[in-house]
Amino acid sequence: RAEPLVLGIETSCDETGIGIVRGRTLLSNTIASSMDEHARYGGVVPEVAARAHLEALQPSIEAALAESGVALADLDAVAVTSGPGLAGALMVGVGAAKALAVSLEKPLYAVNHLVGHIAADILDDQAPPLEYPTVALLVSGGHTSLLLVRDLTTDVELLGETMDDAAGEAFDKVARLLGLPYPGGPEIDRAAASGDNTAIPFPRGLSRASDMAGHRYDFSFSGLKTAVARWVELREAAGEQVPIADVAASFREAVVDVLVTKALAACRDYGVPRLLLGGGVIANRRLREVALERAAAEGVTVRIPPLSLCTDNGAMIAALTSELIMAGRAPSTLEFGADSTLPV
Ligand code: KG4
Ligand code: ZN
């Protein structure tokens, strides 16, 4: 079967991503982020993100076409993230994708953002092909999800997700209460480098035996955030200096511990010796380190795509669509809309 030429549009959060792939080959991956505009609010503001997508889409599409040397007329399909994500932000991408597909008379594919993250791995030309089944842990500022992937195009099962804050969101909120700038993940990572990760025993959300019965693969980070806030407040009230490095290292260890423990529990439960990591939080050095170390001890192989493919991008949406087309999937009809809670 011929390798389809696909343009993918991603606008589910604060990145306007346009990607072009041919089959499993990455031709361009243009990302415009509105992160700077959200910095003073300490988190992504949906209205601001939607407006930024509207402004960035046209120039981003042009840049992606120029970078790849592809002409719109040559595309085999247009692909777009229809959910999950921020409703207003998604709507901008969906509208643009429909307009493009209709005007070019090309097939249009609406795809799931989380499954797109898994597909990013296919574009990693340094790694051997992805094998199934695999467990996938996707951690970003917008989602924290654990999935069982038996087949990328036909069988992706959501095992668990966060009940409150996403892991990246927890990093951002804790950074804020420590007086560190947004986005907080890299800042905490930096501050933690000189800290003791055993200094403060912060709680591991949903990890007690009782939780493991009903929420074995689910996550919760809001209790951890509150515990950090309380710990810091008590020190400040007592007039003591807050040991930022130790707090950052202990907080990071709590997040990493829960993420890796639950991902490896899924590998063990389902007898799957493969773990795929994705999402912007994968940039965390400690998370990579602990995941690789503990997985190796259990005979689990860890795959981590390059960071430019781990964070939100359009290439992963195009890559997933290319797989769907090669698997014979029919395009979407134009009735679909943005769905902020779209299931996998
Ligand atoms: O996938 P991503 O780029 O996009 C969105 O979620 O929109 O992820 C961004 C998130 C932010 O919450 C950021 O604080 C977090 O990933 N992050 C990190 C690190 N680098 C980015 N979290 C922990 N450690 C890091 N080194
Ligand atoms: Zn994402």
Model ipTM value: 0.97
Mean of the pLDDT values across residues 36-53?
A: 93
Return the percentage of the chain with pLDDT > 90, whole number. 95
Q: Do the domain assignments include residue 340?
A: no
Query: Which CATH number covers residue 114?
Result: 3.30.420.40
Is 38 annotated to bind ligand?
A: no
Lowest mean pLDDT among 47-56, 123-132, 145-154: 123-132
Question: Do residues 137 and 45 both lie within one domain?
Answer: no
Question: Which pLDDT belongs to residue 43?
Answer: 87
**Greater model confidence, 210 or 272:** 272
pLDDT at 1 > cutoff 70:
no
- The reported pLDDT for the residue numbered 209 is 83
- Which phi and psi (to 5°) does residue 85 adopt? 160, -160
Q: Domain span at residue 30?
A: 5-121+310-326
Cα of 143 to ligand 2 centre, how many Å? 7
Q: 94 with 208, same domain?
A: no
pLDDT tens-place string over residues 173-220 = 999 999 999 999 999 999 999 999 999 999 999 998 888 888 999 999
Q: Are 140 and 280 in contact (CB under 8 A)?
A: yes
Strands (E), 84-199: 108-112, 134-139, 144-151, 155-161
Mean pLDDT of the region 326-342 = 96
Q: Confirm whether 331 is domain-assigned.
A: no
Residue 156 known to bind ligand: no
Q: What is the pLDDT of residues 90-130, one digit of tens each?
A: 999 999 999 999 999 999 999 999 999 999 999 999 999 99
Would you say residue 338 lies in a domain?
no
Is 101 part of a structural domain of the chain? yes
| Mean pLDDT along residues 48-76 | 98
Where is average pLDDT lowest: 71-80, 207-216, 260-269, 270-279? 207-216
Mutate to test the pocket of ligand 1, among 118, 171, 178, 224 (most ligand atoms within 8 A of CB): 171
Q: Which atom in ligand 1 lies closest to the alpha carbon of residue 312?
A: 1
High-pLDDT (> 70) share of the chain, %: 100
Averaged pLDDT score across all residues of the chain? 96
- Tally the domains of the chain: 2
How confident is the model over 124-140, as a mean pLDDT?
95
In a domain, 221, yes or no: yes
For ligand 1, pick from 29, 140, 317 the residue to mutate: most ligand atoms within 8 Å of CB.
Answer: 140
Same domain, 94 and 145: no
Q: Distance (Å, rounded) from C-alpha 119 to C-alpha 241?
A: 46
Looking at the structure, do residues 90 and 145 belong to the same domain, yes or no? Answer: no
Classify the phi-psi angles of 179: left when phi > 0, otherwise alpha if psi is within -120 to 50, otherwise beta.
Answer: left
Say if residue 101 is in the same domain as residue 203.
Answer: no
117 contacts: CB under 8 Å, gap ≥ 6: 136, 138, 278, 279, 310, 316
One domain for residues 111 and 136: no
| Average pLDDT score over residue span 7-24 | 97
What was the pLDDT predicted at 246? Answer: 98
Alpha-carbon Rg for the chain, nearest whole angstrom, is 20
